[in-house]
Homo-oligomer: A and B are copies of this chain.
Amino acid sequence: MVNIAVLGYGTVGSGVIEVLNLNGESISKRCGHDINVKYILDLRDFKGEPVEKLIVHDYNVIVNDPEIKIIVEVMGGVEPAYTFVKEAILKGKSVCTSNKELVAKHGAELLELSKAQKVNFLFEASVGGGIPIIRPLNQSLTADEIEEITGILNGTTNYILTKMSADNEGFDSALKEAQALGYAERNPEADVEGYDACRKIAILSSLAFGMQVDFEDIYTEGISQISDIDVLYAKAMGASIKLLATSRKVGNRVYAMVAPMLIKPTHPLFSVNGVFNGIFVRGNVIGDVMFYGSGAGKLPTASAVVADVVDAAKHVGTNIMTFWSSKKLELADAKTAPHRFFVRISDCDDNTRELINQVFGKIEEIKVNAREKDYAFLTEALSEAEYDEKADKIGKTLNRIRVMF
């Protein structure tokens, strides 16, 4: 029997208990041990609920109990999670977490500490909810040099964009519906401005390239500026707008970015719709692979956490090597990243049209019925800096979306 403690009895924490109760028998078989939840740390008492007898309010009870071999951290946020996790590892306990903020900020350090202590720090649930992506990157794609990881890593924004496209509606009304359905929070900033996806691509990039990618270094743009008119044009191009979190290695330079982008049906991420997530990986020998599934939700996320618990229980006393050094990876300047751009200007007069043609050179015009006054086009591949320079010369507000084709 392996004793574990769960820090935080919120959505994911209660999901972990539910999964262990529901599938306990097969989990024990796969694990070779029974998993016993000895404590749950929470500020609340949960009087009258079955978990009441497991609740403790003092972390010291948990971290000082030598019977506890594995700690599940599902509180979220950097503190006090970081202090708790570090202490646990130093006391020789493995930690499984769903906490992307913690992993993005302190992953490298906590992995090094775990290695020294011969325990494990596992975080499958921190990216892509239930989708197996951390373990595949760490253990299955070991023969490859990763050239690109591009993910739809945030279900809230993917739901909003899918809804905007399906019902030809604007961002605000799609957001309201997402909030009504519980897919978006009342303060949706972390999702819609791309901050959530940014932390996740920082984690994936660090694993893919084996060095610390700081999320603060990643250029991040959300979807709040995307309009129903953009969606019309996307459809006219046979394309779709997705919030993509991407990092690419070109020579020795790594570019990383979170931004809404246009993709076409030939891209494996095109058909990732609604609250689903998808992660596309290109390796130099494996070619293109894609992982798809529920990127959030109580049970899918708990499934990933419990799978980590099983792995930790199978590896008591052995560190599973993870290739993520604390050495900082200096990202290439995002301004030098080359893309095509979709550009759109409303009520475009003839002079502006001519100026655009002069400044942007070879373009591909896109027309949409009943939008005769617009001027909309695809540029050739330009760096961000080149695009900005050209856009400045036009002297009017241009809507632009990066293009991944």
Which residue of chain B has its CB nearest to the CB of A210?
B29
A43 CB to closest chain B CB, in angstroms? 27
A328 CB to closest chain B CB, in angstroms? 17
Q: Are B293 and A289 in contact (CB under 8 A)?
A: yes
List chain B residues, Cβ under 8 A from A284: 22-23
State whether the Cβ of A336 lies closer than 8 Å to any Cβ in chain B.
Answer: no
With contacts A292-B290, A294-B288 taken as known, whether A144 is within 8 angstroms of B323 at the C-beta atoms is: no
Encode contact with B along A263-294: 1 for CB under 8 Å, 0 otherwise. Answer: 00100101100000000000111111111111
Stretch at the interface among A129-137, A162-170, A174-182, A213-221: A129-137
Stretch at the interface among A44-52, A98-106, A186-194, A305-313: A305-313
List chain B residues, Cβ under 8 A from A144: 23, 303
* Distance A23 CA – B303 CA, assembled complex (angstroms): 33
State whether the Cβ of A145 lies closer than 8 Å to any Cβ in chain B.
Answer: yes
State whether the Cβ of A139 lies closer than 8 Å to any Cβ in chain B.
Answer: yes
A30 CB to closest chain B CB, in angstroms? 4
A304 CB to closest chain B CB, in angstroms? 8
State whether the Cβ of A358 lies closer than 8 Å to any Cβ in chain B.
Answer: no
Q: Looking at A288, A289, A300, which has the most chain B CB atoms within 10 Å of its CB?
A: A289
List chain B residues, Cβ under 8 A from A307: 139-143
State whether the Cβ of A302 lies closer than 8 Å to any Cβ in chain B.
Answer: yes
With contacts A289-B291, A303-B285 taken as known, whether A30 is within 8 angstroms of B323 at the C-beta atoms is: yes
* Distance A383 CA – B287 CA, assembled complex (angstroms): 40
State whether the Cβ of A299 lies closer than 8 Å to any Cβ in chain B.
Answer: yes
Q: Are A145 and B23 in contact (CB under 8 A)?
A: yes
Q: Are B292 and A286 in contact (CB under 8 A)?
A: no
List chain B residues, Cβ under 8 A from A310: 142-143
| Residues from 120 to 166 in A contacting B, C-beta threshold 8 Å | 124, 130-132, 135-136, 139-145
Encode contact with B along A1-45: 1 for CB under 8 Å, 0 otherwise. Answer: 000000000000000001100110011011110000000000000
List chain B residues, Cβ under 8 A from A145: 23, 26
Q: Are A139 and B311 in contact (CB under 8 A)?
A: yes
* Distance A311 CA – B307 CA, assembled complex (angstroms): 18
**Interface set of A (CB-CB < 8 Å, partner B):** 18-19, 22-23, 26-27, 29-32, 124, 130-132, 135-136, 139-145, 210, 265, 268, 270-271, 283-294, 297, 299-300, 302-307, 309-311, 314, 318, 321, 323
Q: Can you list 8 pairs linking A and B with CB atoms under 8 Å apart?
A: A22-B284, A26-B145, A29-B210, A132-B136, A135-B139, A136-B136, A139-B139, A288-B294
